[in-house]
Amino acid sequence: QVQLQESGPGLVAPSQTLSLTCTVSGASITTKMYYWGWIRQPPGKGLEWIGAFPWNGSPYSSPSLKSRTSISRDTSKNQFTLRLSSVTPEDTGVYYCARHYGPPALSTTPVRSPDWGQGTQVTVSS
């Protein structure tokens, strides 16, 4: 059974870069046909995709966040990382990492599944 765990600072100052790491166990991030991604939920709002990458290719991001988003992977550690630059208080929310079979449509609302991490609260504030 795959398990995902987010880690990173819970408080980020405005204009700084938010950095989160997802550590995966029970499955390899190079397993064929699986995509790995980041999702967030601002307070009082719905879930939204931030970006994802396939087991064998390059990451891609939601158009609304693309200019500020960087997703990378470390296959030796079975981890992947999100960096979101120039954050504002509107980037506050719970951030999840997730596994998805096949390419997720980033314009659609993510559907919770057992293949998500438990989520980590990130607050942008001075």
Beta strands in 34-107 (DSSP E): 34-41, 48-54, 60-61, 69-74, 79-84, 93-101
The band of 113, judged by pLDDT with boundaries at 50, 70 and 90, is very high
CA distance linking residue 125 with residue 94, whole number of Å: 15
The amino acid at residue 69 is: T
Instruction: For residue 71, give the nearest of 55, 90, 84 by alpha carbon.
Output: 84
Q: Token match 């997703």: residue?
A: 71
The band of 114, judged by pLDDT with boundaries at 50, 70 and 90, is very high
Question: What pLDDT, in 10s, does the model give residues 2-26?
Answer: 999 999 999 999 999 999 999 999 9
Q: Beta strand 120-124 with 11-12: parallel, antiparallel or unpaired?
A: parallel
